[in-house]
Structure 1
Amino acid sequence: MKQTPRQRLVWAALTMTLAATVWTALNDKQADEVQVAAARPQGSRTDMKGLPKSRMSAEARPAGANSLDVARLQRAPWQDSEHNLFGGGQLIAQAETAQQPIVQQAMEIPPLPFTYAGKLEDHGQFTVFLSVGEKNVSVKTGDIVGDWKIKEITPSRMILSYQPLRADVPLMIGESH
């Protein structure tokens, strides 16, 4: 079976991908070894002669090793109390605010958005026609329109449930003649 130039190109790409994968895996292994060596505790390191590092003389230690000037790391406190986030005055005000009881506003049931337009009775089942703004809808028991669910329809009234509060609201739809 003779290979086309396209098949040779695919084989070359596969070979290069395999080589790149092997090369990456080898480099990752070396990087992991370096990270493990750097993570060892300092007390377990030894100098080149095999002696523990703590026994090395001060002259043998490199300059700056194990010497840290802490005074240079400290910063002068910020004197701008107006913008100081950790100022005592603000902390006291926040504590007083936290101690005050939280008054929740009672959610109110909104007024019915529907206007009664008519009803139809078919073998004991009622279909009620409502208008919502410019839109007309026909509903039966169990239907949901927006946040309102139709719970019950009788000849003289309709019970709607406002779903967010689970509160029932009656809507008078007149007597059946």
Structure 2
Amino acid sequence: LQAELDSALDSTGLGWYTHDDVLVITAIKPCAGAGVAARPVVYRILKGGNPQKLSQEIQQQVVPESWEPRSGNKIIVGLLPSALIIIQKPLVHAELQKKFSISLQAIHAPSRLNEQFKLLDQRGSVSCQRLPLEQVVRDLSQQFQVPLMLDVAALRGDTRVSPDTPISMQLNNVRLATALQLMLS
């Protein structure tokens, strides 16, 4: 299948990758190591760096195409004091540690944080028909017994999705993280 997809898409300039349970065809060629799973790493910010500014610099300087919103790769700012949680592929983490060794130090994620990320790996079914995003997130929180909150303030700047966006999905045996990513993309 990989060879067929490569052959079919080569002349179009499109790329493809699989993310969890979904085959994604994209105008952005996947970065090296795209088939390898992303993982969260906590980085302690050194020398009083500004978390927001550092986050922007990382996304601009370290494999910029890998931060495409639908990729699931992201930087979480503000969850832990003086730290960034970066979810990325191992090759991107290695590049990040080379370029930002003066500003960041990788540390082990607290076990509680690792447990929370594992909760997102739970599989189940998601079925909704034109329900507001906010309601679907509440329902998933109850169904999977995971504390989920919709960051309404962050969505205000996103023109694609809002808390009232109607969601229609019928997914079976899907990871919770995948379902959430599909809803927010």
Higher strand share: 2
Higher helix share: 2
**When the two structures are superposed, what TM-score results if normalisation uses the length of structure 2?**
0.17
**When the two structures are superposed, what TM-score results if normalisation uses the length of structure 1?**
0.18
